[in-house]
Amino acid sequence: MSAIHHRQVVLASGNPGKLRELSRILEPIGLELRSQAEFDVPEVEENGLSFVENAIIKARAAAGHCALPAIADDSGLEVDFLNGEPGIHSARYSGGGDAANNARLLKELGDLPEERRTARFQCVLVYMRHPLDPTPLVCQASWEGRILFEPRGDNGFGYDPLFFVPDQGCSSAELPSEVKNRVSHRAKASALLLEALRRR
């Protein structure tokens, strides 16, 4: 295997936005990130009970299929009043898309007062050198906020329109992309991963 081949890493996601974001972050250490869509990696069942387990499942599957190191991300929203739900089920909370997920969350919280609507986004990034890597790098970061009473803003996806960021004074979906890409859970976890890979 050539030295250049060693610098390629597969991203266990077909999401082009995620690929662009992580590619920019990893560029300084000379890693070329490639989407698992290029390699026709089959969908894997995310049957873990935590963000960490699901990220490892995805990274292991991609590394095994592509014979390359792999990076996987698992993330979601934890609402304190709902004992951490929707958590690992964030993307499929309602069985529908983003709008249905947001509608279900608002219904669950009802008229719960503002101070009890605390929540956070979580992101776990995992780097595996190969599918049997006994010590994968695991980087986790969170983003604190609270759930609004109605959606605000259209610059985002998922629960962004309902997630109020106190230190920014607006919802995540009202933040300019360059600000969100600096302060979000994924941005913080990515910075930790970059630092860990530099050390390794």
Residue whose C-alpha is closest to residue 71's, from 141, 157, 133: 133
Q: What is the CATH number of domain 3-199?
A: 3.90.950.10
Query: What is d(CA 112, CA 105) in angstroms, rounded to the nearest whole number?
Result: 12
pLDDT in tens, 31-56: 999 999 999 999 999 999 999 999 99
Q: Which residues pair with 73 in a beta bridge?
A: 125
Which of 40, 73, 74, 133 is the catalytic position? 74
- Spell out the domain ranges in the chain: 3-199
For 136-165, give the secondary structure using H, E and C.
Answer: CEEEEEEEEEEECCCCCCCCCCCCHHHEEE
pLDDT, one tens digit per residue, over 101-150 is 999 999 999 999 999 999 999 999 999 999 999 999 999 999 999 999 99
This prediction's pTM: 0.90
Which amino acid appears at position 178 of this protein?
A: E
Whether residue 160 lies in the annotated active site: no
Other C-beta atoms closer than 10 Å to the C-beta of 41 total 21
